[in-house]
């Protein structure tokens, strides 16, 4: 399995892992989870927002990765871009938790551009 496919798995698991931080600390209401999440404050509320954003970003990454793989983009480039995306997304989540809005936006943008590069990677000549 290529690095890019491992990154796909990490990206798919990330929202579930991140929401665990929002739920940590007790009081979670499994009968009304969405209503309960709206009562969160501080770091736990930011963790929930990061969880939502992980789901929002996932389809674009998956599409970019699949397009790159289907068009036979250079595997090494695809692996690097996928890994870079994951590192930027992990940094994004940490920046969200720590209330570092500007850093968070920079990391989000870098991850976004990595996905755009995945879409364009099929234009890179093979060696």
Give me the DSSP letters along 110-127.
Answer: HHHHHHHHHHHGGGSPP-
- Provide the CATH number for the domain around residue 42: 1.20.120.550
pTM of the complete model = 0.93
pLDDT at residue 60 tops 70: yes
C-alpha to C-alpha distance for 60 and 116, rounded to whole angstroms: 9
How many structural domains does the chain have? 1
Cα 17 off chain centre by: 11
* 24-34 average pLDDT score: 85
Cβ–Cβ < 8 Å for 65, 11: no
Q: What mean pLDDT comes out for the span 68-83?
A: 96
- Give the model's confidence band at 30: pLDDT under 50 very low, under 70 low, under 90 confident, else very high: confident
pLDDT at 127: 63
Q: Which domain holds residue 43?
A: 3-123
Handedness of CA 21, 22, 24, 30 (dihedral sign): negative
């Amino acid at each position: 399995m290529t690095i890019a496919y491992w990154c796909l798995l990490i990206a798919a698991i990330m929202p579930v892992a991140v929401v665990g931080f929002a739920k940590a600390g007790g009081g979670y209401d499994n009968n009304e989870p969405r209503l309960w999440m709206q009562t969160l404050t501080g770091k736990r509320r930011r963790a929930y927002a990061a969880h939502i954003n992980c789901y929002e970003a996932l389809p674009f990454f998956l599409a970019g990765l699949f397009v790159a793989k289907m068009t036979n983009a250079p595997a090494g480039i695809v692996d690097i871009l996928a890994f870079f995306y994951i590192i930027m997304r992990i940094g994004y989540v940490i920046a969200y938790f720590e209330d570092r809005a500007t850093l968070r936006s920079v990391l989000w943008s870098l991850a976004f551009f990595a996905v755009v590069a995945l879409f364009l990677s099929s234009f890179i000549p093979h060696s």
